[in-house]
Structures are given as C-alpha cells and as structure tokens.
A and B are shown apart, each in its own frame.
Chain A
Amino acid sequence: MVSVLDTKLGRDLWRIRGQALAIALVIATGSLLLVMMEGLVLSLEQTRQAYYERYRLADVFADVRRAPEAALADLVVIDGVDAVEGRIRGGALIDTAPGAAPVRALAVSLPDFGLPKLNDVLVVSGSFPQTGRHDEVLLLKGYADAWKLIPGDRITVSLNGFRRTFRISGLAQSPEFIYSAAPGELAPDDARFAVLWFRNEILASAFDMEGAFNEALISLARGGREADVIRQTDRVLSRYGGGAAYSLAEQFSNRFVTEEISSLRVSARATPPVFMMVAAFLLYIVMTRLIEAERRQIGLLKAFGYTSLEAAWHYLKFCLVIATVGAVLGCIAGVVLGSYMAEYYKVYYKFPFLVFHIEPASILISLVFSILTASAGAIVVLMRLFDLTPAAAMRPPAPADFSRSARIAGSFRSLLDQPSRMVLRRLLRQPVRALAASLGIASGMGLSVAMLGVMSGFERMVDVSFDVADRSDMQVVFSEPLGPDALHSIRRLDGVIEAEGFRSVAVVLRHGLASHRGAVTGLPERPRLSQALTSGLRPILIRSDGLILAQSLARKLGVKPGDVLTVEVLEGRRPVVNVPVAALTTALVGAPAYFEVSALNRTLGEAGRLSGAYLRTDGERSELLLELLKGMPGVAGVSRKADARASIREIMDRGAGATRYVMTLIAGLITFGVVYNSARIAFSERAHELASLRVIGFTRGEAGFVLLGELGFITLLALPIGALGGVGLAGAIAAGFSSELYEVPGTVTAGDMAFAAVVVIIAALVSGFLVRRDADRLDLVSALKTRE
C-alpha cells in the first residue's frame, strides 16, 4: 500500500508541477551536456581507431629523396616493425575552369597489383585504377563532390610539369586524409585540395622513381617501440636523403583530428561542470525556499510523532523525484542530441561510419552528479530545519525585525509611495535572501555572458587573423622556391598593387622532449601584408637573431623568449640549427614561427629564395589576375583570402566549435529557468500577502507592483554581478575550445554583456508576466483562509 506521505508527495508535486518542471529542466540541461559531450568524444575516438585499424594506417612515416625498393628489406627487419610499404608521393596540379586558379593536389601511388599493405583506401564508388591502364586515377571523394565529378569523368593533371588527362576510375576516402588541406594552408577546403591515387608505374615514370620510393610507411608489431623504430628508420634511410621519420601522432590529418577530439574532450570535461555548478547553485536557492515554505508542515509532522529522519526523508524524496526526472530527461536528450551531433560529425570528418556510443558509466555518473548537486541544497536546509523544535518550526520563520529597514526606508519616506516602501523594506529585511536570489540570476546570466563572449571570441579570432594580421587579398605559392625575379614579375602583373615575398620551410622544432612539426615562415623585417602581432594587436618586428613564436606554440614547446630551440629543417640540405626565441606573438589561427627572410635563407644556404608571395590586389581585376597567375611558370597555387577565411569559418562552425551553439542555447535556457524560478518562488511566498493587499483595497496593479518590484530589483542587482562573473567564466570556457589550430580569445565585449542583460530582462519580463497572471487570478478568500 502506498503510504499517506507518498500520496501527499505525489499531490504536492502535482500542485507545483510548473515549477518542478522548470527546476527539472535546469538539471536536465546540465546532464544533457555531460552525456552528449562524453558520448561524442568516446564515439569519435572509437570511430577513428576502428577506421585506422580497418584501413591499416601506418604508425610511422618517413620521407626520403629517392630510395631503392631494396631498402625496404632493411626496414622490415628493424626490431618492432610489422609491415613496410614504399610508395611514391608528389605534388600535382589539377586544371579547373578557365580563369580559376589550378587546384593543388597530392599524387600518391598504389601498388601495381592488389591493395596497399598499409594506408589502404576505401573506394566509395567506381573501382581502383586497373593495373596496366595508364590513364586511370582514383580521386578523393571530397574534391570530386565539390566539383561534381563522378567515375568516368576526365580530369587534366600536371604531374612534375607534364599535363595529361586521366579518367576517374573511382572515388575514395582514406583515414590518411580525413582532414586534407593544401600544403601551407591551414583550413581544409574540399574544392581546393585533392588527393590522386595512381598505380605505381604512372608515378614512377612521372617522378623518375622507377624501382624506387620516396615515402616509407611502417606499421609497428605488437610491443614495438615507436621511438626505437623511428631512430632505426632514420639510420637506414639517411643515405637516401631521409632522416626525419615521424610518428602517426605528427601526421597532418591525424594531428588535426586528434586536436579536434581533444578540444572536444577538454570542453566535455570543463564546460558541463561549470553548467552543473550554476544549476546546482540555482537549485540550492530554489530548494531552500521551497522547503522553507514547507516548514509548518514539517513542524506538524514532527508534532505528530514523525522522527526528524522520517520527515527529512519525505522532503528529500520531493527533491529526488524532481532531480531524477530532470537527470533522466537530460540523459535521454543527451543521447538523442549526441546521436544527431555524431551523424553530423560523421559527415564533417568524412568517417565511413560513426555510431554514437556512450558508456553506461557516463550516464550513471551524470545521473548521480545531477541528483547529488540537486539534493545538496535540500539537505543543507533540511538539516537547519530539523534543529528546530516542532513549536519553532510551526511558527513563521525568523521573527522579522523591521526596525532597521524602517529607519533606512524612513529617509525615503517622502520619495516613495506605500507599495515602493513595502518592496524596499522587504528587501532590506532579508538582504541575504535577496542577495542569494540575485546571485542565482547572476550565475545564470554569467553563463550566458560567458557563452556570448566565447561566440564573439570566435568572430574576433577570424577578424584579427584576416583583417589585422593578414592584410593581403591573395596568396601565391610557388611549386619550388624561386629567386627574386619571380616576385618582380608578379609585381608587374596587371591588378597587383603590392606584393610581398615569403619563404616557408618545413621544420621540426624541438625543445627538450617537446617537439612540433610545422613550418618556419620567413618575412621581411617590417612586413606590410602579413604581420605578427602583440597581444595589443601592434605589429612586431621580424628578427634575424631569433624566432617570433605563436604563444600557443611556445606553450606546446614549453619555451619563453630567450630560450634556445633546435630547428631541424626538412628540406634541401636539411640543416639542424639552434635558434633563440626572440619574442612571442598573438596568433589566433595556426601556430606560426617567423624568422627574418634573409636570415632564414642564409641558414638554408639558399640566398634570395621565396616560396610565394602575399598580394594586395585591385578587386575589380582579380579574375583576370588569377588567369595571369595561373599562366605563370612556377606558380603552384593561388588562394584568395576570402576563400581561406570561409574555410576557417567552416571549421569553427562545423568542427569542435559547433558545440558552442548548443552550449549558448543551454546557457540561455538556464538563465531563463533561474529567473522564472525566482519569480515563481517570490509569488508562492507572497500569495497570502498579496491577497491581504487586495482585500484592504489595493488594485491588482499595485499588488502586482509589490511582487514584481522585488523581482525587478533583484534582477537589476544581478546584471552587474552576472556580467563580472561571465568575464571569469568566458576565459575558462574559451580555453576549452582553443586548440593548436586556433585560439579562441576569452574576452567579453560590452556588446555581449548588453545582449545577456537584455536576455535576462526579457526572461524577467516574461516570468513577471506569467506570475502576474497567476497573481491576478488569486482567490482572495482561500488565500486568506490558510494562515501563512
């Protein structure tokens, strides 16, 4: 049989169902975020792992200038090596529409017979190129989709300077190219970068690699030690122009995907607890007041002989039901939303499969965490109430001392009418309660401010990178480093207003055990089109006595200005030099390292060489200019800044950054929940008083003012507190979103604060309206019949 207390519990919950639901939804949003983010991280990791294993992605990669196939036999006997594959890899250019820049591509060889032992590809449509046919190519699906190419279509490709037309045999995806960007570019753009897989003999003849390879792929045997294998590989390949083998962890695509997943993981760990804390704080305030309102009934139960424990359990169940409903709803919504997001990421990361998966433990943790935080407030207030004797519990709470507030309010007597004085006195009488309610709203607002700050941080990142740091309109990349003449001929082209050469060199930067595989960019001492900036956005002089490092890179390597880095150049003579760090720059996109261009060339022993140029152009003539640039010998690619900007935006909006929209929405929901709950509680506490006011002749408007005036004051007080709190939270949340690829500044603008304040005020107005409607419907007689 259901006990009478449980019957009471059910009916009481039903009575306050609106508010109970509002509280449950706040809890739900917290656990939703927890479950969704945990699930996404786990699903992405498992999918990536399964994808890598199924298509036998190599563990170690080694570039060489030209090694005979016989060298593979020396590699396979290295201790810890399981399988070895040699392949040919080179640059290619794909002709597109006339007037459009050619698209840079990577040409990769497939064995002449059968499937690759390592770095296999998934043929999505069509088939592998037939052995013996010299005109077939397998094309990366992303590029084909962007240009609407299908198997059977033909494309014209320049391989090592020779243009040939190939028939597309099929479209493929590969775990090696989940994230594919043109060399030297940061953001992937399916339309501007392609991978072409040819049978080995085609590339062997194009790149003069018959019986040889220029990239070795190695997989490790179980228990094989990566560092040892890399060392041995370098030893074997050094005589063929190798010597910088690197692990999968440093592979371009994998590094990006790993960064994205770990950025998601950081926000999965860092953000939901922030949201839960805010929700818990809100619940503490709500539960405190909910139970305060029940103190008479608690006193009564004790008077009847219920023990403190029995009565406490009854009220705790009250909270537990609300918290459990909220947590369960949140978990369900988290799984639903997580599955949706997973489907979305599957498309974005071009995974052939991705199943949303969540550990039961994560759900359990989310449930327990939600329920505990929600109950904590209830437990605190219950403990306080149960120290009271039944007689004290049944008396109205804490005898009200109006004398002090009367004095203060007295000085305003002439300025305020009676309802305003009532509002003011009530606030002054219980300043702690008013402050707590304000803090509750402020914490909701802080969350919104922080998320808006993060949102605008993303915008600021793009603006700073593409408007302040990069003042060019186009970037030209040469197929190989060229002398100063190339820059002169570009300057003479019609439509070029200004051109500034740069040198970019692939390097490994090392400091102690930390290393970074990237590039050093050589710029003039006072660059005009591509600048390094201080945190105050002032240009930094490029130095010839030391590197200017991005702050994110300095953090990764653990260096500060004055420290010395080892720079291993991966091109040409492959010099290894020690260079000090001269200064740090605020680079929000990418992790650049700058060096004065002549000094860089001196280090390389290649005076006056440039890898490309930044151009400022006449917008009206840019189409023509593209055509001219495309026709220039030695130009490998041209990218417009607008395209690069669009690609970065794409990553921000569709990659790990996409979750910021969900989080901002949730922050808004929590903010609304907080304000609505505050209004609801104020009403339930004041119902009796409002009825009294109405009875003695106050109009609905005046009585409503007494209720809503307090809410208004509490809301206004919350605005500055929330704005300040948001500034602190924004930094923490932005750090969670930042990755090696981009850094989100955690700064909050006045606009963000204003917008959040407007959200809070609207929430207060809507809540006020809803509560006011109930206040207008108040049944005067029944409200007065029961003593407060």
Chain B
Amino acid sequence: MGFAPTSSDPGFLYRTEGLKRIYGEGAARVEALRGIDLELPAGELTVFLGPSGSGKSTFLNILGGLDRASEGRVWFRGLDLTAMTDDALTLYRRRHVGFVFQFYNLMPSLTARENVELVTEIAEAPMDPADALDMVGLSARRDHFPSQLSGGEQQRVAIARALARRPDVLFCDEPTGALDSATGRTVLRALQDANRSTGASVMIVTHAAATAAMANRVIDFSDGRIRSVTVNQAPVSAEMIQW
C-alpha cells in the first residue's frame, strides 16, 4: 500500500480547505458541512461545540477517516486524506487514530480486557491492555463484561481501548453525552490525562459548553460552518468543570 505519512507541513496536525459534506439528493438534500477551512496544531486538546446538526460530528468523522468529504480537502500531517483509497484510510485509522463514542460501542460479548485486545491485536506497537485499563483506573474490572459495568466504566474501557494502540489523535464524539456530571468528569479527566501523559492530540465533540474550559482550543460550529475559533491560554483541570 506504501502509505507512510511524510510531513510537508509539520506545523499542523490537520488542515482542511473548502470541506463540504452533502447527504441525500433533491428534496432530501442536506448540507451538513458548508465549506470548512481550518488548521489544527498537534498535541492539543480541542473541543468542538455547537448544537445538534451543526456539523461538528460530521467534521470529526471525516478527520477520523470514518466518512468521506463530498468536496474540499483534508490533510493529516501534510498527507491528503481525501485522496486516499479505502485500504489506505483503513491503515490510517489503524496506525494513527483512536475513537471514543457517545454510546461506548463496546462489543457486548467481550470482557473489558478483550475489548481492548480487539484493538491491540492489530496495532503495531500497542500498550499492554492491562496498562491501558490501569490508566483509566479499571484494572480491577478487566474481566467484567460490558453489561456488568456502569456507563462511566464502559466509557473508560472505550477510552482505554482507544489509547491502547498509542494513537496520534483521539477522537471523542459526545464522550460524556450519556453520563451524569460526576461520572462525566472522571471520563474527561481520563481524556485530559491521556493528552498530557501520552502527548496524543484529543478532539472532543460536545454540546456541553462548560467542557470548553479544559480545552487548548475551542471550535464553535453552527449550521455547517465554523462560527469562531478560540484559543484558551489557561485550560482548567477537568475536575473543575460544572454542567
């Protein structure tokens, strides 16, 4: 496949140009993204805010290689994701990115540890699954099935699973959306720790505006466009967030 990320523009982790995503045709046509131009540096914790349907999740899916743009281009470390074949995109996901979803998306028939192994089995230089679970404070629960874990615990397993392959970027789509605020804070804390200890960039989509306080950079979406980009000079600790 010959996919090797070479950096022609090392300053940015991602850069997009005129990015559009259109669903459906005719009367059912929906423009989820109406032309996004954005540059994101590496190593940051970025929060994407905006109401439902503003396009933030769609944008994240395209950056993560889960979806394809209808128009425009995306570069990851100078490499054009929009020009990649399916196989190259698969390899990109396998080597560089991790995902955390709102509904955890654990495999119900696998234990916590096995859910992590699902990813480490195909990663090139993964962590020990036990260490990954240790990072999110779940060593004691590693042989439990998802049905035996609380929502917060399931989400932390999902984070461990995403971190275990040592990704360059961690994409989190509404990671606290299904959780109460106390549990949500432990999850955000785990994400912040991951960003600081592993150096992975973390991208969080949320409509909980308070989350913005912990971010290095806040991107505000509205109606398929970016309304504002705010750089936060002094991000607070996740424990301080109230919503």
Contacts and interface: CB of A to CB of B under 8 A. Distances in A.
Nearest to A387: B86
A390 B121 contact: no
A646 B107 CA distance: 64
Interface string B93-105: 1110001010101
A308 B86 contact: yes
Given A12-B109, A389-B68, A305 B103 contact: no
Interface string A566-583: 000000000000000000
B220 interface: no
A8 B109 contact: yes
B50 to A, nearest CB: 18
Given A390-B66, A391-B66, A304 B118 contact: yes
A305 B94 contact: yes
A503 interface: no
B110 A304 contact: no
A5 B99 CA distance: 19
Given A8-B110, A15-B109, A305-B122, A389 B103 contact: no
B153 interface: no
A306 B90 contact: yes
Contacts of B107: 8, 297, 300
Interface string B30-55: 00000000000000000000000000
Nearest to A15: B109
Chain A interface secondary structure, helix, strand, loop or mixed? Answer: helix
B67 A389 contact: yes
B103 A787 contact: yes
Interface string A507-542: 000000000000000000000000000000000000
Nearest to A5: B118
A372 B108 CA distance: 29
A307 B94 CA distance: 9
Nearest to A392: B67
Interface residues of B, number: 31
A391 B61 contact: yes
B91 to A, nearest CB: 7
Nearest to B118: A4
Interface in A266-316: 296-297, 299-308, 310
Interface in A1-17: 3-5, 7-8, 11-12, 15
A297 B105 CA distance: 8
A7 B110 CA distance: 8
Given A11-B109, A12-B109, A391-B67, A307 B103 contact: no
Given A4-B114, A308-B86, A303 B93 contact: yes
Given A303-B99, A391-B67, A296 B105 contact: yes
Interface string B177-198: 0000000000000000000000
Interface string B110-139: 100010011101110000000000000000
B175 interface: no
Contacts of A7: 109-110, 114
Given A310-B122, A389-B68, 12 more contacts: A3-B121, A4-B118, A7-B109, A8-B114, A296-B105, A300-B107, A303-B66, A304-B94, A308-B90, A391-B61, A391-B66, A785-B151
The 4 A-B pairs with the shortest beta carbon distances in the complex, nearest first, are: A305-B94, A11-B109, A391-B67, A391-B66
Interface of A: 3-5, 7-8, 11-12, 15, 296-297, 299-308, 310, 389-392, 394, 782, 785-787
